[in-house]
Amino acid sequence: MSLPAAPTEWTLDDAVAALEEDIVFGRLHPRQRLTEDELMARFGLKRHAVRQALARLEQIGAIERRPNVGAEVRAFDTAEVMELYALRELLESRAATLIPLPVAPPRLDALMQIQREHDAAVTAGDARHVFRCNHQFHRELFALTDNPVLQHAIEEYARRTHPIRFGTLAAAGYRERARQEHWAMIEALRAGDREALVALCRQHILPSRDAYLAAERLRSGRAA
């Protein structure tokens, strides 16, 4: 897995992005503590800036801060994971019912161009670029609804599941499955196959949910 190049001087935005990526790619694990002193040393930021970074990560649901514990990477229990993914399934399958079909060739071409870049990242084993291309693909896909409110809701809840997705982003088999499903979505958009599109949008998000729950069961078993 390729690591992001560190900037020579870190900004607050850089630090937030780096920590979010560390969580997404499993370099920081659920329940792992984040201390202000360590973050100040890593990023060369003042304490107030580190606290701002932690506040932003808490706001997007990547970490939680608890009295007498401090900041730690958020861990989700089974009920929370199921509820988040049920909401994502509801929003994304609803969006699939609203996209006008078949999609106009110029808009379909834009989606295909993003997917070709995603293909290249999967082939290269560049998990970081896979993550970015995957985000772009889904943003472009749901932009086809021409419904900004729904698009924002989908992006918000997809981002809230970023800490849950490390198991699939790190595994080549899951990345390949996602790549193939993206092309199946494109074909459904081209063919005007609403039923296939809705089914694909529903099933596409489930591997990350199931991988996280399996990892938590394994972690709990080891702890016991």
**What CATH number is attached to the domain comprising 67?**
1.10.10.10
Residues 57 and 85 in one domain: no
For position 162, what pLDDT does the model report?
81
Which of 179-194 are b and which e, b meaning 16 or more Cβ less than 10 Å from the residue's Cβ? beebebbbebbeeebe
> Do 45 and 145 share a domain, yes or no?
no
Query: Considering the entire predicted model, what is its pTM?
Result: 0.81
pLDDT over 90, % of the chain: 62
| The pLDDT of residue 3 | 44
Determine contact, residues 39/15, Cβ cutoff 8 Å: yes
- Total domains present in the chain: 2
Are 50 and 117 members of one domain? no
Predicted confidence band at 6 (pLDDT cuts at 50, 70, 90)? Answer: low
Angle value at C-alpha 113, between 1 and 170, nearest 5 degrees: 20
Write the pLDDT tens digit of every residue in 85-115: 999 999 999 999 999 999 999 999 999 999 9
Q: Residue 2 — pLDDT band, cuts 50, 70, 90?
A: very low
**Tens of pLDDT along 153-189?**
999 999 888 888 766 666 788 899 999 999 999 999 9
Using the predicted structure, report yes or no on whether residue 1 has a pLDDT greater than 60. Answer: no
Same domain, yes or no: 60 and 89: no
CATH number at residue 131: 1.20.120.530
Could you read off the pLDDT of 21-49 as tens digits, one per residue?
Answer: 888 887 888 889 999 999 999 999 999 99
State the chain's mean pLDDT as an integer.
89
